Structure 1
Amino acid sequence: MLEKPIKGSQLTPNNVQEECVRVQKVYDWVVDAVSRDDRITVPEECQAAIDLAVAEGRIPLDVTCEAPEVPPLFPLIPKPQPDPSGDAFCVISANIERPKTVYVGGVPVEVAVIKAVFRVLPTVTVRDSNGDIICEFMPAITQSKKIAVCLPEPLTRDNILCRITQITCDENFLEDAPGGELDLQLDVTICFEIQVEAEVKLEIWAKFCHPRENDIRVKDRVVCPEFTFPEQCPDLFPRQNCDCQAWAMTMQENQSVTFTGFDGSDQPDENTTNMTTLNANICNNCTLSGSTLRYTFRDLDDSDSVDYSFTFKAKTFDQPTCTDDDPAVPVAMTITGQGWLKFQDETNNLLNRRVNYTLEIQNGEYMLTLTDVSGNTIVALGETVPEDELKVEDCVTFQDLD
C-alpha cells in the first residue's frame, strides 16, 4: 500500500490511474568548487591613476574585489543557461572522454569524463585614502575542472547543464611593490553544479491536480466553473504493462515434434532426424510492442519422400499470462496469437497457412502448439534447453504496488 496519501482537492471521479507524462530525467547531479589564486595585471590607464595618487600622497590605497551575481536557487537549473557574454558563465567542452573506467566502492564503473570551463569577471575597485575611486576594471578569470559523470550514449554535452551557484573573491595587494606597480592577487573560488538530464516519457500512477478554492474572502464569494480534463484513452495509450518477459535463442537436434492435420498425408516419426531453432523476444522491457517469435524446423530424414521442413513466424501477440505466485516455482509465461506457417515442400498437402499458436515457456523449457482456424492441432512440440538459452523474468506492474 502507498504510505503517503494524495492530498488536495481532486476531481470526481479522479481515481488513481495510469498516465504518461513527459519529464526531464536526471542521470547525474554533481556539486563541486574550483579555486585559483592569480596575479592580476592592472590595466595601463588604471596603473597611471594609481601612480598619480601615490605621488600626491593619497595613500594608503584600498582595493576591493566584488564577485558578479549568480542566478538564484530556483529554478534549480535555469534554461536557457547564462549568456556566455555575461559576467559569469560556464560551458562544457566538446572534448568528452568515454567510456572511462573508474572504481566506485571498489567496483569498476564506466563513466564519461567532461571538462567544465568557467569564466568570471569580478569588479576590482581601487580607492585612495579619502575613499575616492581611483579606477575600476574587470579582469577575466578563467578556470576549468574535469568531472566524471553518468553520460550514457547517445547523450551529448547538450544534455549537460552547468550552473555557478556562488563566487567569492578575495584580494591581496602591495601598493609599493618593486617597480612601482600595484602588485595585485585575486583568490577566486567558484561553486558550481553539473546536471545531466534527458527528456523521457514515464508511465506513472497519478491523479489530476486541482486548484484549491479561494476561501479567504474579503468580498462576496463568486462561484467559478470547475476544471475538467479530457480522459485518457485506456485501450489505446498507454499500453498495458506485461507481467513477465521472456527471451530465447536456442538450437536443438532431433527434437520431438508431432505433426497432425495434413489431410491424410503420411506423418513423420516424431523422433525423426531434425534441426530446430527458436528465436523469441517477448515483452522486452516489459512492453508487448516489438515482441518477436520465430521457429524453424529442418527435416533431415531422407527415409521418405516428404520434406516436413517449415518456418513459423508470429504476426500478432496477445497479452501474455504469467504465473509467479509461488516464489519457489520459476516464473512461467503463456502467450497466444496468430502467425504464418510456411513449409519448404508445398506438395503433399503441406500448404502454407495462417495458424494460431500457443507458446508456454519457463526457464530452461518451452512448448509450442500450432492449430488451424478450426482449432485442430497441426504441430505440437516441446523441449528442454540449456537455461542460459531461454530466460523468463518477472515484471513489476502497477498491481504489484498494492
Structure 2
Amino acid sequence: MKKRNVKSIQGRQVVPNPIGPECIRVTKVYDWVVLTNRDRNKVQIPEECFAAIEDARHEGNTITATCSEVAGTRSCDFIGATPANIPSVPGAQIVSLAFHVHIRVQFFCNGAPLPGCNFVVPVSFMDEVILCFPEGTEINCNIFDVQCTVVLNQMLGDMVVLDVTMCKDVQVEAEVKLEVEAKFCGPRPVIPIQEEGFVCPTQPFPQQCPTFFPTTNCLCQGAAEFNGEASILVFEDGLGGPTTGNLDLTALVCDQCTLSGSRIQVTYIDTLGPTPTPTGTPDADIDQSFTFTANDFSQPTCVTNAAGVVTGLTVTGTGVITPAGGVPENASFTLTLADADPLGDTATLLITGATSTVTIALTEVANPGLEVETGDCDRFPG
C-alpha cells in the first residue's frame, strides 16, 4: 500500500510513552452463568374486573388479554450458599437466588380496554445454581429479559394463568488489583507520589476455583471429515471383523480453540444395499452398522514439527455407541489426526464399549475425499 504524506501533529507530545507494567483496579469475574426460567403462574383477577369480564361474556363479546413487564421492577436477592460437595469441582457452592418482577395484566372487550381490568401482579422465581463462590467474592445477578403471555383458555374461576419466561445473568465478582502490560493513553505519564512511614501488609484476594471456570483454552485445534466407502474393523460381543460400507465421519476438536467447541459424529452402514449380502461365514453375515457420538473431551495432545508448527493431535474422551439393532452403550474413544499435505492426511478413531469395539483408520491415499486440518491456537490474537 502506498504511504501518504501526512504532516505530523504539532504539539508537546515529546514525553516517551512505552509499553510497561501497570497496576490496575478491576472487577474480576470468578464465575458466570446465564439462567432461564419458564413457568405458569395463577394470579387473582380483581373482583371488579372479574365481574366486568363475566358481564361481557354473557353478552357474547370477545375477551382478550395482554401482559407485560412493568419497567423498573426487576430485582434479584441472594438467599444463601452451601458447599456443593462435588469431588470433580472442588470449591463449588450451591447458591440460592430469588428473582422478582412485576407484570401488568390488561383485559379487553372487542379490542377496547375493560374498566377496572388493568392491574399489576408480582412474579418470582427461586433458583439454585452451582458456582465458584470463594470467600471474599460477591454475587452480581440481574434479569435481562422478561416475556409474558396470558393463557386465556386456562382461566380457573377468578384466576388467570400467566406464562412468564425470565432470562437472568449471574456473576461471581471481586475487586482486585492486576499488573498488566500497558501504556498510558493520557497526555503525560502519572507522576508517582513517594510516601514514607508505616507499610500496610498486602491484602490477599480470593482464590479462583481452577477446575471449572474460566475454561482452559486449547493449545491446538483440528478437524476431519470423510463421507464415502471405507473398510473398517467392527466387533460386537466378540463377533465381527473387517467390513466395508458407507462411512460418514465428522470431527471437530477445540473449534474456536475452546474444548466445548468439540464434537465427533460417526454413522456407518455395513452394506450399501437395503440388507446384508449373505456370505456363508457367520461373523461376516452380522450387520455391523453403528452410530457414535462423543460427549466429553480431554485436552488434546499437540504434535509439532521441528519448526514448531502443529501437524497433528490426539484427543481422548467418552461418548455413546449404538450398534445396529442394539441398545446404546457408553464408550471411550481415541482420535488421532495428522495433517500432512499433499496426500498425507490420516485420521484414526478407536472406539471401545462394553460389547463393541471399532477401529477406523483412514488415509488420504486409500480414502480419497478425506480432509484433515490441524493448527495452533493463538489464545491472545493481535
Q: TM-score, normalised by structure 2?
A: 0.44
Structure 1 or 2: more strand by fraction = 2
Q: TM-score, normalised by structure 1?
A: 0.42
